[in-house]
Each structure stands twice: as C-alpha cells, then as structure tokens.
Amino acid sequence: MTRLLPAPDALVGRRLDMALSKMLGLSRAKASDLVAQGHVRIMGRRVNKATTLMSGDLIELDEPEPAKQVEPVAEDMPVVYEDEDVVVVDKPVGVAAHPSIGWTGPTVLGSLLQRGTHITSMGAQGRQGIVSRLDAGTSGLMLVCKSDLAYKEMRRQFARHEVVKIYHALVQGNLTEDKATIEAPIGRARVSDFRFTVTPAGKEAITHWDVLERFGSATLVSVNLETGRTHQIRVHFSSIGHPLVGDHMYGANPDLAERLGLKRQWLHAMRLEFRHPRTKIWTKVVSSYPADLRRSLQIERQSASGIRS
C-alpha cells in the first residue's frame, strides 16, 4: 500500500530523513532505514536520505499491509455428520458460532473454513451458512449449510420449528413436576445488551422439559425447544427460579458450580433431528456429554448418594 505525502512548506529545504522523521513521528534512524530499503520515492524517482525536499514534491511511502488477525482453529471440534449439503459439528465449549465484535477465540464457521470445508456464501457476511447458533458457553450439536439448497431449506425448517432440538441441562434445585412447558416471551433486558429476560414485549418462546434425574440440590432435564430465542433455555429456567447450574449471568449459585468444578453453564445440545434438505430423509444426529459435564454429574451423584445413605 502506497501513501502519498505532499511536502509541507515548513520542511522544504530539509534533508529527506529529517523531514520524514518530523512528518511521521519516527526517529531519524528509522526514517533513514525506510529510505535505504527503497520504501520512499519522490515523484516516482529514487532518493537517498540526504535528498533535499523541494516545494511541490510528493513523497511516495510504501506501507506494509496491516497484518490480518489469524483466527485460532478449534482443533478438537469433531464433525459428526457431513455430506454435500450440510455439516453437523459437536461444538466444544469456548467456541463461538461465528465471528463477532470483541470475540478473539475460535468459531465454528472459521474453523470449518480453515479446514477446507466448503460453505455456502448465502447468509450475512461472517455468518454464511449458519441457520441456528449455540452460545460460546454451550456445547453440543450445531448444523452449518454447505450448499445454497441446504441453506434455503434448513432456514425454512428452523423458522417453522420443524427441526427437533433436544438439550440436556442441569438446573438448580428440585423441580416440583416431572415434565412441564414454559411459555413466556423473551426480549432484551434493559440492564444489559448481552442479557435477555421474560417480558411482554418479547418474542414468543416455548420450552418443553422432562426430568431425567434428581439430585436434590439440582435436577437433570431433557429440554425440547419449540422456538429458538437467544438464551431461551437459560432465561426460561431462571424465570421459574431454577437457573442452570454455573450460569452466573442468570442468577446461578457460584458455590454449587465451584463444588461441581464447573466454569460455564451446564447445557449441552444433545440431539438434532431434521428432514434432509435434498433427500427429504428424516435425519437424526446424537452427541454425548463432554468431560466437564460428565465429571460434574459424577460429583453430584456421589453427593446425592451420600445424603440418601
């Protein structure tokens, strides 16, 4: 990249290295190096550090292209299903769905592209191929579209709630029912741009849940999302007084998370079912708990067993 610098009247008659030092805020030695390395010309002609700057001179300065930030790759992100139309990954915690302002860690989209996976160009810039997301602090199955056909069809299926999305969550306390539905609209919280809340002004949100295991201090549930609002599971369980274990943003008890060795919310996208966009075959993909969630469950089971005995 070449930068053009008209000679300032105040520096006419000065040596080029001295003038560049003043103009660029560099040491005279650094300015001399730029000239010696051939990065500086005047009106297209070669110069040396002692060249006298004349009135009307136009200095041509070669500047290096700014170094591009290389996004780290999520090396430990398994691909659990892939064909010419879609790819389903088992996203680890600490990986975002796509690039965003302020995020410097790996992303699902960036990691797939750097691995050489073809992704459709359809979708917003930086979010191409993505029709459904997971929070960086949530692990589990996430689908990305490789073909234009898949993007159009899967976007339609997600929008019409035809895709089955099953999560497992560990929530604080002992739920009084074995199964229930939370139906409450969700919108942005006024206290923060990053938080969401149940509000009459929000969008429709429906969460179905079934108890899988009870520990007394916490309950393991299977969650079926009928809608897909941002932070929906986290907001809905917090709204009924049972925030996800480890979810400090929505009121979780930090002592319980510490006892279980958790550094994030206990939430995993366990199962994904959809009609294949090309073949129309009903397709089912299943995940398993990552190590941190398995370990926390083991601790909770041992604790609950000790209390019962």
Positions annotated as catalytic residues are 135
Other Cβ atoms within 10 Å of 204 Cβ, number: 11
Cα 183 to Cα 181: distance, rounded to the nearest angstrom: 6
Cα 103 to Cα 136: distance, rounded to the nearest angstrom: 10
Give kind and range of the element (H or E) at residue 151.
Answer: helix 148-159
The token pair that represents 13 in the structure block: 């008659």
Q: Which amino acid is at 307?
A: I
φ, ψ (nearest 5 deg) of residue 53: -80, 125
Cα 136 to Cα 140: distance, rounded to the nearest angstrom: 10
Q: Which amino acid is at 225?
A: L
134 contacts 140 by C-beta, under 8 angstroms: yes
Cα 152 to Cα 149: distance, rounded to the nearest angstrom: 5
Cα 208 to Cα 218: distance, rounded to the nearest angstrom: 18
Distances (CA, A) of 273 to 95, 148, 233, 298: 22, 20, 18, 28
262 contacts 296 by C-beta, under 8 angstroms: yes
118 contacts 129 by C-beta, under 8 angstroms: no
185 contacts 199 by C-beta, under 8 angstroms: yes
Other Cβ atoms within 10 Å of 214 Cβ, number: 14
Enumerate residues 6+ apart whose C-beta is below 8 A from 253. Answer: 172, 245
